[in-house]
């Protein structure tokens, strides 16, 4: 897979779907998720609508640079919002994305962020407005701790200690998605397969912990989102137990002209049943920018 250098010492591994001359759309994944968590069929459905779709590993997961020198963060301080406890911030990951767009050879791109990826694309639109053509924030929030709250059982499963072996990791992934996802019949095999592939490709608990610290210590972006001037769509599941719908509602209110799309029955995942709705919302928003 190709790699792009986005800053001194940080390289991101990525993959591309679609025609190279098509408008670029970058998909930014959530906490601990590698780029292979994006289902190729989902990426291809976006590419079929006329986009060069790029997925990548965020710093500290997959094949992108690991910040091993930063060690394991102090969770007790990070969960209280102490930014000094986090080796890096969501803003740094947004700077990665802004530089990544340039490294892809385009001046700006449509950006789509899922969960933590939503935090990143929002921050990118604030910090690097010239790099963003349109913004789609999925199952995410503004950083305001008063909205988008997780149910206790969802937070508990997310913060459970990582299993030490492949079989344990696969079963933990299934347990996690049973709590936070909208699993239907046949999904369990898909989750097991994806978790096994992720373990085989990379498993670095300290890197995942550093990402978590960035999430816990993120700033409230509400006021600055008022300066965003690109077309924005906010997509949220009506049954999301990890980031309550209020997080999506607050995001849409904060961005001038932001459109809210609530998907009934969708939890904190993207099962194939919701793809038509989600893809249409992303593409319609990107077309607003092109118009």
Q: Which tokens in the block code for residue 83?
A: 């930014």
Nearest-CA neighbor of 136 among 236, 207, 49?
A: 236
Q: What is the CA radius of gyration of the chain?
A: 17
Nearest alpha carbon to residue 80 among 29, 34, 145? 145
The pLDDT of residue 196: 96
Residue 185, pLDDT score = 58
Q: Taking residues 39-62, what's their average pLDDT?
A: 98
pLDDT at 134: 98
The phi and psi torsions of 8 (rounded to 5 degrees) equal -60, 115
Q: What is the mean pLDDT of residues 142-160?
A: 94
Question: Mean pLDDT in the chain?
Answer: 95
Which of the 8 DSSP states describes residue 229? -
- pLDDT the model gives residue 183: 65
Mapping DSSP to helix (H, G, I), strand (E, B) and coil, where does residue 117 land?
helix
Q: Are 280 and 261 in contact (CB under 8 A)?
A: no
CA-to-CA dists, residue 122 to 1, 14, 115, 138, 275, angstroms: 27, 21, 11, 11, 22
Q: Could you tell me the domains of the chain?
A: 3-290 (3.40.50.1820)
* Mean pLDDT across 154-164: 89
| pLDDT tens digits, one per residue of 9-22 | 999 999 999 999 99
Q: Is the pLDDT of residue 109 over 70?
A: yes
Please report, for residues 43, 47, 67, 73, the alpha-carbon distance to residue 87 in angstroms, rounded to integers and kept in the order given: 31, 35, 9, 7
Percentage of residues in the chain having pLDDT higher than 90: 90
Determine the Cα–Cα distance for residues 257 and 242; give it in Å rounded to an integer: 26
Residue for token digits 């690097």? 128
pLDDT tens track for 235-281: 999 999 999 999 999 999 999 999 999 999 999 999 999 999 999 99
pLDDT at residue 95, as a whole number: 98
- Cβ contacts of 90 within 8 Å, gap of 6 or more: 116, 119, 120, 123, 143, 214, 215, 218, 219
Identify the bridge partners of residue 3 per DSSP, sorted by sequence position.
13
pLDDT in tens, 209-220: 999 999 999 999
Quick one: pLDDT at residue 267?
Answer: 95
103: number of Cβ within 10 Å: 17
Q: How confident is the model at residue 227 (pLDDT cuts 50, 70, 90)?
A: very high
Average the pLDDT over 132-141 and give the result: 98
């Amino acid at each position: 897979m190709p790699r792009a250098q986005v800053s001194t010492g940080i390289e991101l591994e990525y993959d591309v779907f679609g025609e190279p001359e098509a408008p670029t759309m970058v998909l930014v994944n959530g906490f601990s998720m590698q780029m292979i968590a994006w289902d190729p069929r989902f990426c291809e459905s976006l590419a079929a609508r006329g986009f060069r779709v790029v997925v990548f590993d965020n710093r500290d997961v997959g094949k992108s640079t690991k910040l091993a020198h930063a060690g394991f963060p102090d969770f007790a301080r990070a969960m209280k919002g102490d930014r000094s406890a986090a080796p890096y911030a969501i803003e740094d990951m947004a700077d990665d994305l802004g530089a990544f767009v340039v490294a892809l050879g385009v001046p700006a791109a449509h950006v789509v962020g899922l969960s933590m990826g939503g935090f990143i694309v929002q921050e990118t639109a604030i910090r690097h407005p010239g790099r963003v053509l349109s913004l789609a924030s999925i199952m995410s929030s503004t950083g305001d701790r008063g909205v988008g709250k997780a149910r206790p059982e969802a937070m508990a499963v997310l913060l459970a200690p990582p299993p030490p072996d492949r079989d344990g990791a696969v079963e933990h992934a299934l347990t996690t998605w049973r709590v936070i996802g909208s699993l239907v019949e046949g999904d369990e095999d898909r989750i097991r397969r994806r978790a096994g592939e992720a373990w085989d490709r990379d498993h670095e608990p300290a890197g995942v912990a550093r990402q978590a610290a960035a999430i816990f210590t993120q700033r409230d972006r509400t006021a600055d989102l008022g300066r965003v001037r690109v077309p924005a769509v906010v997509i949220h599941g009506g049954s999301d137990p990890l980031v309550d719908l209020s997080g999506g509602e607050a995001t849409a209110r904060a961005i001038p002209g932001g459109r809210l799309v609530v998907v009934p029955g969708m939890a904190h995942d993207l099962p194939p049943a919701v793809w038509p709705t989600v893809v249409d919302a992303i593409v319609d928003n990107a077309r607003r920018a092109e118009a």
